[in-house]
Structure formats: C-alpha cells, structure tokens
C-alpha cells in the first residue's frame, strides 16, 4: 500500500497527517549564529558566484545585489557541540545599511515595486517533445497493465448527434431507449450497423448510416418496479455530426502530427465500453458489480469492479485495465441503516445534530416501499420531516383528519414502532410522508459521502492485494470481458491483446544523504528505499527552549509526563537542542474545554515569557480518544489565532511508548521548529543536475476539493516553495480559498488596490530574503491535474508565473520548467522476474524504477517513477509529465533529480495497515511523490480545517452556486507561517 495514501487526519504523529504550513528556522539564539553549548560560529567567507545572464535582467533595487550564500556544509564543531538550524544569510543591502535593517528594507522595496507588463499568450502552449530516453540506472524488465489495441486501417467512424425527447437525465435510461431503437431498426433504417452509444448525445457507427438525419418513435416500458408499469413514448432524433478518421490517429501515434485526434480516441473508448455498460454498473470509466460485496459498516458495502480506458502511448494504442472498488449503500431497511449510521439501538427522538446528519446522508437516495399493493414502488428521498412521525397528520379522502401512524395501522395493518423518529419526505409534485420502517434502500446506489476511519480500514482490508494477486486478477478481468468475441469490437474492427505489456525499465541509484558530523555515521546511502537513524544525528538540529504539553485524553497525568519526557529525550538524542523543563507544567483537561484551555495556556506562557521577549515555540498535545472531532479545531485555533506550532499525538502511543514512534515524531518536530533532518550530499557539493548551477527555487502546488457530497464548500489551493538553495530541504507555503471545484489556481498572481501580490510573488520575495539570491531557474511541480486540464492549467498558471516575475523586476524572466505530477492514474507495474534483484520485500518493483518508453506518451516528455518501496498491496508509480521546459532538462537529469528529492521528505514514513492495529515503519523511507507536491497537498488539506463549521459541513454557499466571492481563509499567524508546521 502506498504510504502517501494512508494519511491520518487525526494524528500528526502518524507521519502522514495532512496539513499545511511553512518552513523557516526558529531556533532561539541559534538564529543569531550561536550553537547551543558553544560560541557563535564564524560567518563563512563570501562565495564567488555569477548568476545566469538571462536571470539577471536590468538593474533594479529589489533583485539587483548579490550576497554570499549560507554555508553548504554543517560547520565543523568541537566534541560535544550540536549544530542548530543555520542562521539566515544577510540579505542584499546597501553598504551603509546594517544587516538587521536590510532584510526589512528589501521586503518593503519588493512589495512596493510597480507592476511591469508581463508576457501573455493568446494560444495554447505546446508541451515539449521528449528529449530522448534516459540511460542512467540498472536495466530490468517490468509488466504494465496495458493491453495492446490494433485497428483496421480502412475503418471510418461516423459520429451522430442524438437528441431524446422528453429529456432524460439518467444515462442508464438513455441507453435503454437507444438499445430499443437499435433492436427495432438495425436491419432496416440503420442499414445493418451496430452503433455504440455513450449514454448522452454521441452515437458512433463503423460506416455511414443510410440517412443524415432522422427521427424515430420509441416505446419503452417503465419498469421501475411499480405494479402499474406502462409504456412511455420517446422521440429520438439522430443527426450526422462528423467523421473520425483513423488515419489521423495513426499519424499522431507515429509522431507525424502533434495535435491528438481526440474524437477518434473518444469514439474507440465508447465502443469498448459498450458491452461492460450492458453487464455492470457503469460509474465514470469504471464498472462495478455487487457479487461478493464486503460490508464496511454503518450501512455501506464495498463493490468491486474494473477500470478501463483506451490510451495513445509510445507503442500505439493500449487498453489500460485495472482493479477498482468503491462504497455503495447496503440494500437494507432504512431503519437498519439509520441505526448503524448513528450507532443507536433505541427509538428515542433525534437530536438536532442527528437529524441533520441523517437527512444529509439520505437525501437523494432511492428507496422502495415494503407494504401493501405498492410493494416495490420506488421513491427518491427529498428530506426528513421536522416533526416526529407520531405528530404527523393529514386529511384523508373524506376530509377526516388522521395521523400517519393511524393510517398505516388501519390501511395496511402495519404497526409503526419508531414513532419518535422523523419520517421520510418523498414525492415530486405532492409531498408524501413515509415512516422509515416502511422503506428499504434500493440496491446499486453509490455512497458518495466521506468514509469514517473504520470504513476506510475495512475498505483497505477488502481491496489490498499483493502485486502477484493483482496481476492475476487483472488478467482474469480481461479473459472475462472476452474482447475477442465482443460484438462492438468486431463491428469496429478492434482487436485487444490478452497479454500484459512488457516494458524496459531502469532502477535509478539512491542518493547519498548527509547527516551531522557528530554522529557515528555522517553519510548514508539508502538500501531498497529505506534507511534508519541509528548512529546518526540530524544535520541541523532545531532549538526548542519554550514549550508546553497538554493532555486531553484519559491517559493519567503521570503517564503523560513519562511520554513527553521520553519524547524530549529522543529529540535530544538525534540532535536537537531541547530544554527539558516546560514553561508550564503538564496539565490534563477535559476535551470539552479544549478551546478555553488552549487560550488560558497560551496567555499564561506569554505572561512568563514576555519579560524575555520570547514566545511559546511548541505545544505537544495528547489528543482525546475521539480525536477526529478535536484535531481540526485545535489546528485552526493554534495556527490562525494563538500563533503556536503544535504536535499532536494519539493517546494509544502514550500508553504504549515505542522508540520508533518517538523517533518519527522527533523528526517532525525538528522541521517544525526550523531544523533540517538530512540533505543530499550532491546538493551540498553542487552536483545536482541544473538546479545547483544557478539559484533555483522549487515550487509545489496542489488544489484540494471538498469531499463528495459537499456541494458548496470552496476548493483550497496551496503553493510551497524551497527557501534554502542549494540544500533544498525547507519549504514555505501559502494557501488560498477559491471557487468550488475550480482546478486552476486563481491566486498565483493578482493585482489589488494595494498593488501586485499573489502566492508566487510572495514566495519569490521570501526566497530572496532567505538566500540572498534571486532565482535564475524555477522548477514547478503541479499536483492534481488531469490530462483534460493540461492546456488550461499550463496557459493560465504559466502566465501567472511570468507576470509575478515581471512585477518584481523589469525584464526578470527566470527559466521555468512546469511538471504535472499525477498519482491518481491506473497504470501499475509488476516485476517480470521475481528474484531479489527485481522486487522489494513486498513483492513490488524496486524503488527508483523508472519507465519512459512503451507505455508513455508517443512524443511528449513524460515518465513513470516508483520512488518508494512497497509496504502493503501494490505500489502505484507516480506519473510526471513535462508541460513546459525552459531549462532544457534531459530525461536523465529530471528523472534523477525527482528521485533524489523523494529521499528528502521530512520524517519517517508511517503506514497504517488495513487491520485492527497500526504498525510503524522501523526506518526512514523515501516517499512516493516528489516532496514539494506532497507538501502542497498536506498544506491544502490542513487549510480545510480553517473553514468555519458551517462551511465545512456544506451549508455555506460558495461562488460556484451563488456568484458571490469566496470567503477568504483566516490568515496564518506570523510565527507559524515561517515554519513547516504542516508536516
């Protein structure tokens, strides 16, 4: 199982909690250049450095002066000394200005710089062509779940537009209408053709129909389960729209034309989806069935299925097939669902919160009645009554007043027991009340709400498969679908291979990591994607002089004190400078008083520290047992109001103290207070390709969207950027709310009445402040973009990057490389050989495996990289696709740099297995996605906690539905925003 996908939102100590924040050295006196236990270290001599002529631009105060870089190696210390986070380098200043004033002057100058005209583009930017194949690394063979597709070259696909009246919203019913049309007219009006229909407006044929436009009358039986089924008349208009020439597709696949013939690929995809749509429940590009469904609890069940999509790749066309699963409502009585969902056994009245939760989860769910002559009649739930069932009454046909309870007893001899609960509101024109006991949930409805931790665990347990098992099950799907005898494939001359695609791959070498010279091991080369902290010390240990601990769990105070003491000891052992005694003695409090307790603790600490002009640097929190309720509130309060960096821990770890767990938390704490755990030796020695040849800032960006079912919450955009070139280990970040489900990041660059602004501009200024250099190169890793959004994202966001740079200095145009990072795809790689030199301990492909041929894009610069070792299930490689490259990366350079960065993630990887216990990795591991993109994802997820309660539960309207502007997120506090608090 991929560790990145198992984030624990309720505990940062898991090492996977998703949050957001900044990174900057904190370290108390160490920021003034003095290491604890020793004198201040001498400032290194200036390093001669010439920036790229292209990056230099004309003279302009904000970006003109160049200053020495901070030291590239940890300072040598005498025995017994520890190194702190390095002091911030002096920013560029005029000779007459003292360094302490210069940074502020620089910031003000940059923020006030007038906006210059920025280059813009009115047409889409074409992605760069592949610069050649990579050669670095040990070669070996892998299998990919891509199946070669061959086409008859003489086939011309005709596209027809379909219009059905009266209009139908359901794709399933639309397919039924068109299927009936084909059944009645195939041999006559359709000229013997077998059309493929997408369920909306597009119909495809392998040859021309005898007409260009025609209207058909179709009668379909309404068999929604009602006893009074009746025929319904539809008028179906079929009109010629265009042709999809296979010749153009072949030219694209061979690299003879650059624009992809999207219509031809879409037509072929519809053809191969036609049979599965008849045999399974279609959902997007996946097809599900309820056979052998696994109960997840709380009224849900896990349906299994398969994903399929036709793709143009280097070897031609392929059908990508993968296993998939998704939660569905369990087909059980509504009463049973509600009792499981709320964990209640009695029929006591709903609280207002219970009423809201049940109404939200049941709205739009289809139910069927289980009584009388209307047995199996189906309705869609519109809501719940505000009144209890026993209080509902209506006038019957004779005008007599009667209650709902009496009606069911007299009419159907059915006793209603749950009279204290509300009834379901159904019906379109006339509102109908149905007691919950009279209805059952209809099978085959997807559950779109957020799963609980127990449901997620059950889902993972049901779907987690070792690579060999997954590979065999995919082959079973291909055999079951029997594409060789598929009537639609035969009609269109399509042949699908039954064999996995064999791909040449390479295993990139792991980078050498640098640790502190005081440790017994000063350098380390990871083995199979993992290493440990034994005999090592952090290269830059952070400093924590003022901290506190609060316990909201049932762990007794003595045990909580022992836990915090062991944690502090671990921090010291691996290289931090940590004051053993807290500012305020540990206190245990009721979680119901959490907000008041935190405010009081903060005020008390500030009263004590104010005389030393200090502030609380770290708050360690032992969460309550039901931590999911309190975690978000705690983070929002600490980071947007109290200005405290916090580290949360689950109570079970205080009960059972594990050295591996403490080590992982210590690594997280170190980066949260401004330290570095490790850096790449190649970064220190200026050997990273392209990046260390010129001051380079590495961005990561992501947009997270509300959970399914949240129709009005805003999307959250996050951008992080490296701040410590050339080490590239610290990242500062910014977040912004934007319109519901909008993928383009709006706030990369903006202009307001206050002047130029935006996240890119602010992070460029921050980089100059911290390093003394203006970036000559920008490497932008963009997460979360689907292929259909490539052109729009590239055009809008590249333009924003250029405008942000131009606003800082006239003519400032750093070289930019824009890389999309895709994790949510369905390509899986399996080792062709099962020997030790081809697999890791879990049976997955080796970490560092890269594939840049066969299954990649026919002409563009992309590759699949599996940078992590598998732990559970089948590893998912990350797909990197270069959309813009000013820096001229070769395939080897970008692949090696990306893989190396994956070893610099801030803490040990922690994975939660799909069982009843949690196992922590006993070593530090590389991660599955490049850290800047990973950090941006964590930060965007954390910022969702900053939304108010109404917004987070979906009751606040967004600009997507009302046209009003999105409410901005509360700003991060100044102390917090300097740190990588989101880790």
**Quick one: average pLDDT of 756-762?**
95
pLDDT score, position 399? 82
Partners of 523 in the β-ladder = 514
Mean pLDDT of the chain: 85
The Cβ-side half-sphere exposure at 935, using a 13 Å CA radius, reads 34
The token duo for 292 is 């052998």
Residue 726 buriedness (CB in 10 A; 0-12 / 13-18 / 19+) = buried
pLDDT score, position 81? 35
pLDDT score, position 948? 65
Closest CA to 654 of 678, 622, 680: 622
Asked if 460 and 420 touch (Cβ cutoff 8 Å), the reply is no
Considering just the CA atoms, what is the radius of gyration of the chain in Å?
31
Please count the residues of the chain.
Answer: 983
What is the rounded distance in angstroms from the CA atom of residue 138 to the CA atom of residue 504? 11
Residue 223 confidence class, pLDDT cut points 50, 70, 90: low
Q: Each residue of 433-456: pLDDT tens digit?
A: 999 999 999 999 999 998 998 999
Residue 345 confidence class, pLDDT cut points 50, 70, 90: confident
Q: What DSSP assignment string belongs to 494-525? A: EEE-SSPEEEEEEEPPPPPEE--TTSS--EE-
What's the start-to-end Cα distance of the chain, in Å? Answer: 20
236 or 43, which is more confident?
Answer: 236
Order of strands across the sheet with 156-165? Answer: 196-197, 202-205, 156-165, 230-245, 213-222
pLDDT score, position 896? 97
Q: Each residue of 151-184: pLDDT tens digit?
A: 998 889 999 999 999 999 899 999 999 999 999 9
Q: Where are the alpha helices (DSSP H) in 309-383?
A: 334-342, 352-362
Residue 866 confidence class, pLDDT cut points 50, 70, 90: very high
What is the rounded distance in angstroms from the CA atom of residue 15 to the CA atom of residue 910? 5
Contacts 24+ apart (CB under 8 A), 533-536: 533/574, 533/663, 533/667, 533/924, 536/574
- Whether the bond between 359 and the residue before it is cis, its omega within 30 degrees of 0, is no
**Quick one: average pLDDT of 40-58?**
34
Residue 514 confidence class, pLDDT cut points 50, 70, 90: very high
pLDDT score, position 961? 41
**Quick one: average pLDDT of 248-259?**
89
Strands (E) across 823-898 are located at 829-831, 849-851, 862-866, 878-885
Q: Where are the alpha helices (DSSP H) in 234-320?
A: 246-253, 262-279
CA-based torsion, 431, 435, 436, 440: positive or negative: negative
pLDDT score, position 3? 39
pLDDT score, position 591? 93
**Quick one: average pLDDT of 607-633?**
92
Strands (E) across 385-472 are located at 393-395, 401-403, 424-426, 432-434, 439-441
Closest CA to 444 of 292, 282, 335, 296: 282
Lowest mean pLDDT among 109-123, 433-447, 677-691, 842-856: 109-123
Residue 965 confidence class, pLDDT cut points 50, 70, 90: confident
Residue 112: pLDDT above 50? no
**Quick one: average pLDDT of 343-361?**
91
The Cβ-side half-sphere exposure at 750, using a 13 Å CA radius, reads 10
Q: Each residue of 908-956: pLDDT tens digit?
A: 544 433 333 233 333 689 999 999 999 999 999 999 999 864 434 433 3
Number of DSSP helices (H) and strands (E) in the chain, helices first: 24, 43
**Quick one: average pLDDT of 712-727?**
94
pLDDT score, position 90? 38
Q: What is the 3-state secondary structure (H, E, C) of 38-88?
A: CCECCCCCCCCCCCCHHHHCCCCCCCCCCCCCCCCCCCCCCCCCCCECCCC
pLDDT score, position 387? 95
Q: In the chain, pLDDT over 90 holds for what percent of residues? A: 73
Residue 629 confidence class, pLDDT cut points 50, 70, 90: confident
Angle at 889 between CA 884 and CA 892, to 5 degrees: 130
Q: Each residue of 476-512: pLDDT tens digit?
A: 999 999 999 999 999 999 999 999 999 999 999 999 9
Residue 824: pLDDT above 80? yes
Q: What is the 3-state secondary structure (H, E, C) of 559-577?
A: HHHHHHHHHHHHHHHCCCE
What is the rounded distance in angstroms from the CA atom of residue 664 to the CA atom of residue 532? 11
pLDDT score, position 427? 87
Integer CA distances (angstroms), 521 to 324, 663, 677, 913, in order = 44, 17, 14, 31
The Cβ-side half-sphere exposure at 790, using a 13 Å CA radius, reads 19
Highest mean pLDDT among 2-6, 19-23, 613-617: 613-617
Strands 316-329 and 300-313: antiparallel
Lowest mean pLDDT among 502-516, 556-570, 625-639, 851-865: 625-639
pLDDT score, position 923? 61
| pTM given for the model | 0.85
Residue 224: pLDDT above 80? no
Residue 966 confidence class, pLDDT cut points 50, 70, 90: confident
pLDDT score, position 91? 37
Integer CA distances (angstroms), 953 to 17, 630, 713, in order = 20, 15, 8
pLDDT score, position 35? 35
CA 297 and chain centroid, separation: 25
**Quick one: average pLDDT of 841-866?**
96
What is the rounded distance in angstroms from the CA atom of residue 487 to the CA atom of residue 821? 38
pLDDT score, position 361? 95
Integer CA distances (angstroms), 278 to 319, 447, 548, in order = 19, 22, 62
Residue 374 confidence class, pLDDT cut points 50, 70, 90: low
b/e burial code for range 461-477 (CB count within 10 A of at least 16 → b): ebbbbebeebbeebbeb
The token duo for 706 is 């509300």
pLDDT score, position 758? 95
846 or 377, which is more confident?
Answer: 846
Neighbours of 961 (CB within 10 A): 11
Order of strands across the sheet with 646-649? Answer: 587-588, 547-551, 618-622, 646-649
80 or 261, which is more confident?
Answer: 261
Residue 106 confidence class, pLDDT cut points 50, 70, 90: very low
Asked if 683 and 931 touch (Cβ cutoff 8 Å), the reply is no
Asked if 184 and 218 touch (Cβ cutoff 8 Å), the reply is yes
DSSP-assigned letter for residue 468: H
Residue 428 confidence class, pLDDT cut points 50, 70, 90: confident
372, containing H or E segment = none
Look-up of token digits 């931790």: 453
Q: Each residue of 661-711: pLDDT tens digit?
A: 999 999 999 999 999 999 999 999 999 989 988 999 999 999 999 887 677
Q: Each residue of 394-404: pLDDT tens digit?
A: 988 788 899 99
Lowest mean pLDDT among 59-63, 701-705, 881-885: 59-63
Residue 835 confidence class, pLDDT cut points 50, 70, 90: confident
Can you tell me whether residue 848 is helix, strand or coil? coil
pLDDT score, position 910? 46
Residue 228: pLDDT above 50? no
pLDDT score, position 956? 38
């Amino acid at each position: 199982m991929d560790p990145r996908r198992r984030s624990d939102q309720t505990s940062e100590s898991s090492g996977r909690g998703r949050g957001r924040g900044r990174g900057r050295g904190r370290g108390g006196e160490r920021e003034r250049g003095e290491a604890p236990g020793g004198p201040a270290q001498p400032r290194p001599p200036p390093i001669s450095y010439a920036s790229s002529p292209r990056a230099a631009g004309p003279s302009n105060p904000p970006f003109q002066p160049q200053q020495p870089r901070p030291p590239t190696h940890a300072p040598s210390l005498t025995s017994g000394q520890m190194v702190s986070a390095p002091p911030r380098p002096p920013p560029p200043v005029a000779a007459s200005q003292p360094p302490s004033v210069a940074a502020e002057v620089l910031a003000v100058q940059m923020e006030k710089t007038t906006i210059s005209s920025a280059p813009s583009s009115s047409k889409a930017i074409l992605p760069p062509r592949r610069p050649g194949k990579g050669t670095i690394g040990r070669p070996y063979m892998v299998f990919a779940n891509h199946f070669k597709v061959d086409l008859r070259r003489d086939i011309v696909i005709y596209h027809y537009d379909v219009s059905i009246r009266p209009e139908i919203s359901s794709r399933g019913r639309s397919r039924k209408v068109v299927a009936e049309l084909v059944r009645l007219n195939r041999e006559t009006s359709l000229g013997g053709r077998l059309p493929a229909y997408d369920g909306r407006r597009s119909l495809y044929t392998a040859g021309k129909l005898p007409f260009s436009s025609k209207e058909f009358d179709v009668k379909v039986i309404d068999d929604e389960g009602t006893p009074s089924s009746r025929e319904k008349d539809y008028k179906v208009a079929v009109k010629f729209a265009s042709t999809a020439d296979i010749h153009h597709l072949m030219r694209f696949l061979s690299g003879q034309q650059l624009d992809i013939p999207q219509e031809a690929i879409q037509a072929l995809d519809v053809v191969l989806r036609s049979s599965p749509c008849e045999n399974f429940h279609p959902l997007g590009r996946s097809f599900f069935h309820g056979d052998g469904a696994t109960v997840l609890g709380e009224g849900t069940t896990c349906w299994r299925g398969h994903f399929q999509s036709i793709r143009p790749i280097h070897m031609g066309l392929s059908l990508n097939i993968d296993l998939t699963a998704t939660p569905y409502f369990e087909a059980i009585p509504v009463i049973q669902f509600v009792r499981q969902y709320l964990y209640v056994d009695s029929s006591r009245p709903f609280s207002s919160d219970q009423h809201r939760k049940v109404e939200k989860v049941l709205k739009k769910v289809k139910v069927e009645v289980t009584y009388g002559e209307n047995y199996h009649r189906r309705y869609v739930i519109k809501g719940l009554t505000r009144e209890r069932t026993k209080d509902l009454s209506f006038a019957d046909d004779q005008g007599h007043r009667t209650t709902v309870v009496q009606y069911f007893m007299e009419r159907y001899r059915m006793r209603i027991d749950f009279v204290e609960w509300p009834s379901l509101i159904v019906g379109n024109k006339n509102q109908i009340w149905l007691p919950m006991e009279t209805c059952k949930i209809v099978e085959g409805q997807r559950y779109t709400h957020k799963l609980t931790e127990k449901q997620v665990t059950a889902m993972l347990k049901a779907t987690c498969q070792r690579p060999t098992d997954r590979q065999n099950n995919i082959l079973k799907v291909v055999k079951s679908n029997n594409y060789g005898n598929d009537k639609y494939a035969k009609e269109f001359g399509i042949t699908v291979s039954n064999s996995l695609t064999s791909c040449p791959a390479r295993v990139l070498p792991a980078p050498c990591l640098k640790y502190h010279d005081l440790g017994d091991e000063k350098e380390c080369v990871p083995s199979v994607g993992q290493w440990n902290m034994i005999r090592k010390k952090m290269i830059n240990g952070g400093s924590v002089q003022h901290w506190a601990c609060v316990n909201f769990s049932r762990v007794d105070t003595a045990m909580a004190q022992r836990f915090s003491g062991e944690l502090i000891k671990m921090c010291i052992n691996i290289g931090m400078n940590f004051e053993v005694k807290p500012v305020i003695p540990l206190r245990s409090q009721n979680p119901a008083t959490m907000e008041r307790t935190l405010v009081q603790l903060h005020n008390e600490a500030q009263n004590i520290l104010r005389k030393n002009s200090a502030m609380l640097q770290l708050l360690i929190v032992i969460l309550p047992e039901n931590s999911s309720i309190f975690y978000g509130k705690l983070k929002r309060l600490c980071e947007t109001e109290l200005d405290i960096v916090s580290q949360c821990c689950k109570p079970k770890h205080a009960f059972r103290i594990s050295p591996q767990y403490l080590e992982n938390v210590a690594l997280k704490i170190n980066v949260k207070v401004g330290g570095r755990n490790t850096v790449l030796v190649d970064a220190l020695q200026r050997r990273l390709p392209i990046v260390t040849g010129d001051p380079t800032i590495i961005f990561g960006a992501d947009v997270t969207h509300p959970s399914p079912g949240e129709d009005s919450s805003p999307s959250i955009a996050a951008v992080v950027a490296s701040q410590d070139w050339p080490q590239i280990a610290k990242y500062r970040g910014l977040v912004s709310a934007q319109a519901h489900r909008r993928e383009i990041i709006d706030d990369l660059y903006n202009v307001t009445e206050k002047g130029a602004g935006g996240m890119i501009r602010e992070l460029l200024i921050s980089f100059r402040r911290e390093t003394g250099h203006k970036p000559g190169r920008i490497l932008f890793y963009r997460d979360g973009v689907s292929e259909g959004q490539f052109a729009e994202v590239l055009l809008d966001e590249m333009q924003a990057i250029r405008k942000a740079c131009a606003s800082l200095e006239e003519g400032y145009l750093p070289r930019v490389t824009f890389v999309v990072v895709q994790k949510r795809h369905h390509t899986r790689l399996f080792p062709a050989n099962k020997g030790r030199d081809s697999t890791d301990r879990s049976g997955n492909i080796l970490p560092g495996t890269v594939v840049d041929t066969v299954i990649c894009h026919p002409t563009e610069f992309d590759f699949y990289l599996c940078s992590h070792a598998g732990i559970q299930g089948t590893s998912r490689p990350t797909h990197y696709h270069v959309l813009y490259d000013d820096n001229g990366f070769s395939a080897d350079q970008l692949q090696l740099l990306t893989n190396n960065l994956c070893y610099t993630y801030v803490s040990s990887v922690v994975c939660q297995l799909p069982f009843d216990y949690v196992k922590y990795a006993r070593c530090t591991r590389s991660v599955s996605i490049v850290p800047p993109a990973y950090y941006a994802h964590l930060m965007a997820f954390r910022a969702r906690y900053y939304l108010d309660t109404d917004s987070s539960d979906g009751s606040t309207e967004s600009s997507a539905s009302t046209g009003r502007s999105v409410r901005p997120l509360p700003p991060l506090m100044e102390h917090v925003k300097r740190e990588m608090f989101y880790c």
